[in-house]
Amino acid sequence: MEQLSPQELELLRLLQQNSRFDIGELIEKLNMSRTSVYERIKKLEQEGYIKNYVALLDARKLGLKFMVIVHVSLNTQRIEYTDEFLEKVQHLDEIVDVYVTGGIVDVILKVLVKDPDDFNEFVMKKLSVLPHISKIQSSFVMRTIKQTTNLPI
């Protein structure tokens, strides 16, 4: 990885705050020409610093008001069984984040559903039927204090 210039780092900071940028604002804040800004953005995309552009949706407005953090312990840590489990959870729309962890649990899932009844149905019909699970523990999120997609650069 090559070292990014201060202007490139600032460009990344600005884009992660709002990727629907006003080119005039970027030109002014970065003290760069229009061509230079576009060239830097293209370079950052090609080098993989910018992976994608997305719209961040309000889950609550879409009726997804119940967030649950689910800790899953697998009955074996054999790589082929872990990979099989991870392949299957990627296809469950209710799961928005998946983390493989070291320590007490093997996998942490962030699940968004409408309500506790939907969560119960999700666990009973979709999650608990997946292979290699030995234990599922759930924590219901009462309040979100901080949620961001911005990286600390």
Q: What tens digit of pLDDT does each residue of 43-64 get?
A: 999 999 999 999 999 999 999 9
CATH number of 6-46: 1.10.10
Q: Over the chain, what is the mean pLDDT?
A: 95
Tell me the backbone φ, ψ of residue 35, rounded to 5 degrees.
-60, -45
Tell me the backbone φ, ψ of residue 6, rounded to 5 degrees.
-55, -35
Q: Are the C-beta atoms of 70 and 63 separated by less than 8 Å?
A: no
Structure pTM? 0.87
Please give the Cα distance from 14 to 95 (Å, whole number).
Answer: 29
What the block records as the tokens of 128 is 């608990």
Note the pLDDT of residue 21: 86
Residues 6+ apart with CB under 8 A from 54: 19
Please give the Cα distance from 58 to 50 (Å, whole number).
Answer: 22
With cut-offs at 50, 70 and 90, classify the pLDDT of residue 77.
Answer: confident
Note the pLDDT of residue 91: 96
List of E strands, the chain: 66-74, 95-100, 107-113, 133-140
What stretches of 47-103 show up as alpha helix (H) in DSSP?
A: 79-89
CATH number of the domain at 66-140, out of 3.30.70.920, 3.30.110.60, 3.20.20.150, 3.40.50.10140?
Answer: 3.30.70.920
By DSSP bridging, strand 95-100 and strand 107-113 are: antiparallel
With cut-offs at 50, 70 and 90, classify the pLDDT of residue 2.
Answer: low
Going from N- to C-terminal start, the domains of the chain cover 6-46, 66-140
Per CATH, 6-46 and 66-140 having the same topology is answered no
With cut-offs at 50, 70 and 90, classify the pLDDT of residue 80.
Answer: very high
Q: Are the C-beta atoms of 11 and 26 separated by less than 8 Å?
A: yes
